[in-house]
Amino acid sequence: MLNHFVRGIIDGLLSTLGVVIGASAADTAIVLAAGIGGAVANGVSNCLGAFSSEEYKGHMYIQKIEFAMQTKGLEDSQIGKKMKKERLKAGLLDGSSTIIGGFIPVVPFILLEHDQALVWSVLSTVITLFILGAYIGKVSKKWIIFSGLKLMILGVLTALLVYLIQHYLV
């Protein structure tokens, strides 16, 4: 289940940061509406996506067991019920972590002046990505600093790309 949490946080952070940077030329109220709306829509989308993906995976797993046992009807068995609970947990965890991650780049616009908020939005996102990357490094028994820096650099590159699009293409 950790994979759904990590994926959701990263998705919420980066996609909402993109929305916030893209909308940053507008008033703070528009940035907030776009950021919060984007975070919630992305969270619901990820919830449904994870649920559907896990449903397919669970169905394939049950079919494999049924084939091996030369039987049918395991959907209502203990295995089937367990798979349904796993699908629900995966969907809710993925969606809620996306929303949580999505609020991190938005919070500075609630607390600070518009010009400062954009800088702190990027900084809070990049710092969160570093911490998350370091945690992934720790869990996967890899170099913690390198894992943190890798995820942080990807966040900076995402912010830079969106900034360039917002300032030069739009």
| pLDDT score, position 76 | 67
Least confident of 23-32, 46-55, 123-132: 46-55
From residue 71, how far is each of 32, 121, 169 by CA, in Å? 54, 55, 59
| pLDDT score, position 86 | 83
Q: Please tell me the total count of domains within the chain.
A: 1
Q: Given a cut of 90, is residue 120 above it in pLDDT?
A: yes
Mean pLDDT of the chain: 87
DSSP for 55-80, please give it: HHHHHHHHHHHHHHHT---GGGSHHH
Amino acid at 98: T
User: Among candidates 151, 152, 134, which has minimal Cα distance to 143?
Assistant: 134
| pLDDT score, position 97 | 92
Q: Given a cut of 90, is residue 30 above it in pLDDT?
A: yes
- With a pLDDT cut of 70, the percent of the chain lying above it is 93
| pLDDT score, position 12 | 92
pLDDT band with cut points at 50, 70 and 90 for residue 68: low
| pLDDT score, position 109 | 95
pLDDT band with cut points at 50, 70 and 90 for residue 111: very high
| pLDDT score, position 167 | 82
| pLDDT score, position 4 | 80
pLDDT band with cut points at 50, 70 and 90 for residue 152: very high
Residue 59, domain extent: 2-169
| pLDDT score, position 146 | 94
Q: Inter-axis angle of helices 28-69 and 2-23, to 10 degrees?
A: 150
Rg (CA), the chain: 20
